[in-house]
Each structure stands twice: as C-alpha cells, then as structure tokens.
Structure 1
C-alpha cells in the first residue's frame, strides 16, 4: 500500500471522495467482487458471479480508478486491483471501515459523556471474514 504523505492535507471534497471510496471498496470486498477483480475477471463475468449490475460496478470502479491508488484501468479499459494484495485490502477495509466505522460514526455520544456499549462491529472482526491465516485478531 502506498504510504500517505505526512504533510498532505485533504480538502472537503477529498474527504468526501475518500469516505465514498472506502465504503465502495468495503461493499465490493464483502460482495466478493474485489477478489474477482484481483483475479483479473472482466466486468461482465464479475457481474454474473456476484449478481451485481456490471454497468453499476463499472461506474464504481471508474470512480475508484480516478480517486484512489487501489484500482487502476489499463489501456484496454479493463480494471484491476493495484498497489495492494486482495488479502491486505480486504483485511484493512473489513477492520477499519467494517468493524470500527460504526464506532467512528457514533463518536458524538461518548463526546457527550455517554458510556453505553461499544459500537465496534465484532462480527466484522470474526476470523472467518479475515482473508488470510497470516492476519489474526489479537485479543
């Protein structure tokens, strides 16, 4: 994965694009589309295999290719996963957006003093969802 520039700062629309990109990538990961993309499958076959509309998938991948370093489009117009293994991408997306995203979205409550239970999605941290035996939850 490309390392972010420590001095880089995001403007408002870059923040929004990053949020959308993360959610789209998580959805593609959970649907199995990200793994198929990494395997080099074309969009039509990906759509059939995942029951996703290839036109919509193509639009989402185009957005990701334009706004991230994780999806690239070659000269023939085919998309591919870039700069990350599918295992690492799936692990990071599932952990930081899938599992901890709810806790981040729920921040106003503890900032007001609420002490209710955790908003971490423990299901998203389940070992069966982790893509590789080299990634294990440390308790």
Structure 2
C-alpha cells in the first residue's frame, strides 16, 4: 500500500487516483454516469439492475414490504393472501381487492373464512342498507364453487 498526502485535503492516507484520497476523489472528480432508466424514462444515475434508485426500490423493496405487511397485519402467508385477493368474488374486479373475513373475526385466518372483495362491495357489505343483498350474492357465489 502506498500512503501519501492527499493533494486536496493534505491528510496522510492511501492514495486512490489523481493524487487524492478516496473521499476527495468522490467529491471532486468522480461523476456518476447519467443514463436513461428503462422504467421511468428519465435521465438519472443508474443504481442497480439498470434502474434508477427510485425505480429499483419500488420494484425490489416494495414487494418485501408487502410481504411483511401480510404477515404483520393479517398473519397469513403472502401466497395465500395473493390467491384470495386475486379478484372480487362478486364482480370479478381484479385491480384493487380487499380481504374480508366472513365471520367478522380478523384473527380467524382459515382459508374458508376469507374472501376477496373490491372496495365498492366491501364498503357495501359493511353498510347496513346493502348488507343482506351483498351477503346473499356472496353465499350464492360460494355455493356455486
């Protein structure tokens, strides 16, 4: 190892490049390569896997956060949660699907107790005016399975 004085800060340290220590080199000389992110189409420094920092975190770390929340709040396996909330049992809507417990006990996480409902039908189920109508539709769909 070659220890010498940094040409910028004057500290005794291991030389990196251009006569500077690593810290000074990164601050003054090194510039990240600006490339086009294939996901968001913006010109930003790429982080990993060819994506900018924001896209990388949303793609790779958001899934881990979702799995953690399934376990923490619903105490069920993420694959089972995904299977149940694949589509609304009543209308078949598949973009946003909530988890509903049939016996209204959120600690009872048996597969037969949970169904997926779109936000509209889930709200209607918890509204007294529409509860009987929605429950009849759910029973009809479950009997046809």
TM range (shorter): under 0.3
Which structure: greater helix fraction?
1
Scaled by the length of structure 1, the TM-score of the pair is: 0.25
Which structure: greater strand fraction?
2
Which structure ranks higher in relative contact order (CA pairs < 8 Å, sequence separation ≥ 6)? 1
Larger of the two Rg values belongs to structure: 2
